[in-house]
Amino acid sequence: MKHLLTVLYALPVLAQSSDKAQLLTQHQAAEIRRQSPPVDDPTLTTYAANLLRRLKANTPVELVHSDSPRPTALPGGPVFLPLSLLLKAKDEAELATAIAHALGHAAAPLSISNDRGLSIIVPDPHGILPKALQPRLAEAEAAADRFAADLVRPATLDPEAFRAAQDAARALFPPKPAPTLQRR
Per-residue pLDDT reduced to its tens digit, 116-131: 666 666 666 666 667 7
Per-residue pLDDT reduced to its tens digit, 4-37: 433 343 333 334 456 777 787 888 889 888 998 9
Beta strands in the chain (DSSP E): 13-14, 61-64, 72-73, 79-82, 110-113, 118-122
Do 47 and 165 touch, CB atoms closer than 8 A?
Answer: yes
- What is the pLDDT at residue 180? 62
- What does the domain layout of the chain look like in residue ranges? 2-167
CA angle, 33 as apex, 10 and 5 as ends, to 5°?
25
- What is the pLDDT at residue 173? 75
- What is the pLDDT at residue 58? 86
DSSP state of 117: S
- What is the pLDDT at residue 159? 84
- What is the pLDDT at residue 119? 63
Low-confidence ranges of the chain (pLDDT < 70): 1-18, 111-129, 174-184
- What is the pLDDT at residue 64? 93
